Amino acid sequence: MRTAMSQVLLAAAPADALIDVPRHITVSGLAPGARVVLRARTVRGADVQWTAQAVFVADANGTVELTCDAPVEGAYAGVSAMGLIWSQTPADGKSRDVFPVPVTAPLVTTLEAIDPDGHVVASTTFAQRLAAEGVTRRDVRDNGLVGTLYLPPGAGPHPAVLILNGSGGGINEPRAALYASHGYAAFALGYFKAPGLSDYISNTPLEYFETAMQWLRETVKPAHDFVALSGQSRGGELVLLLGATFPDAVSAVIGYVPGAVVHSAQNAADPATGREGPTWLLRGESLPHLWENNRTATWTPFDEGPPPHRHARAILTALDDVDAVARARIRVENIRGPVMLLSAEDDGSWPSSRYSRMVTDTLAEVRHPHAVVHLDFAGAGHAIVFPYVPTTQLVYAHPVSGRISTGGGEPAANAHADERSWVGVLDFLAEAVAAKAAAAR
């Protein structure tokens, strides 16, 4: 928009689109070689303002384009079309809630161009949405299940995705809304720390998820009977485990920063059973886990020293007991569909790169007849989400244990992982659906 103060024009296009769409941000009408500050302000989560700003120098035409121009100083370095978004930090210095409340509402960012004297010479806004027009939301409290179902526009049928959170628990509505916006019937399922459920991950029965997959099939009647599983962290461990335990029910597996073994309850444990107690039950029996009868495991590298702590350091001690690893290993060779793994080389929570290689090595050994895709991101940490969200909050208090930890990585690498992983996931799902449809013909 042009202001009365100047002929400077600040534009962001498209002005209203899904959150995973990069914006073309330009400033024109500047003097050649002029310096200009660009500032982005977004209200996120519980009404907390997140901001970022950077200084740019106009080219010979008096223009700045974020798709090709790097800032000379500021919140991020290098060329990044959405750098003013992923480099945002919260005004309170601690918030981690980056998504809108409710999830169906847009995130609105105000962009301002500021001259060297501190005057705002132009401004504009753009909206990021998780839910496309026509996407519907429904709370689910059926058959003991607790979750939220997002459906794409139109009668369908649509292929389906079941979305599972990690050790923070809850219901991952943002990812479900975005999956639905790309044409998938998306069921975000809570399994602890959600209304009516336990506050802890301990002693969670796998039959609960079997019921969820059955309910999803009966409710949405997915195209080609396609039901994929998408899980993050402990959810990444879980989707591999479910694919191996209920192979006929799982069409494809997407594991974000997954584990390759069954773990104990760890930071999400019920205090009554402790962090070395079991997580998963099958037919009432606990599954063998990594910490069980482990001769080398110790929490000392995680517990000692000043925060933030890196949970991965304790996990690495447990992986030195090869017999315990063998007992706890998820039998991924039983999975009967394509598998995608997204891992981070600087994962502070657990060694997701190593775990993903364990899975791909096993699938290669058995000549897995379906696609196996592994994207491993250098410099990135545990929090791989999707474009374009802030990636600056690396230290956090665990939602259950309260331990001050770091997921690792650094903001630019995490932003790259967010962007590339989501492109990969959408391609993977499209190919998996096409393969399932071809097999059904």
Just list the catalytic residues: 233, 347, 382
276 burial type by CB count under 10 A (0-12 exposed, 13-18 middle, 19+ buried):
middle
SS (H, E, C) 269-325: CCCCCCCCCCCEEECCEECCCCCCCCCCCCCHHHHCCCCCECCHHHHHHHCCCHHHH
Contacts of 161 (CB under 8 A, 6+ apart): 176, 179, 184, 185, 186, 187, 227, 228, 229, 230, 429
User: How far is 214 from 225, CA to CA, in rounded Å?
Assistant: 11
Place of tokens 């993903």: 356
Amino acid identity at 348: G
Q: Which of 383, 330, 315 is nearest to 172 (CA)?
A: 383
The crossing angle, in degrees rounded to 10, of helices 234-245 and 207-220 is 80
User: How far is 330 from 244, CA to CA, in rounded Å?
Assistant: 7
Q: Which stretches of 14-106 are assigned E, i.e. beta strand?
A: 16-18, 24-28, 35-44, 48-57, 64-65, 73-74, 89-90
Helix ranges, 345-405 (H): 352-365
Tokens of 277: 């107690």
User: How far is 286 from 303, CA to CA, in rounded Å?
Assistant: 26
CB-based contact 15:25 (threshold 8 Å):
no
Tell me: cis bond preceding 308? Omega within 30 of 0 counts. Answer: yes
State how beta strands 339-344 and 252-256 pair. parallel
b/e per residue 160-170 (b: at least 16 CB within 10 A): bbbbbbbbbbb
For residue 427, give the 3-state DSSP assignment.
helix
CB-based contact 139:209 (threshold 8 Å):
no
Tokens of 66: 């974020």
Contacts of 209 (CB under 8 A, 6+ apart): 162, 164, 189, 191, 238, 242, 246
Q: How far apart are the first and last CA of the chain?
A: 54
Residue-by-residue DSSP string for 45-61: TTTEEEEEEEEEE--TT
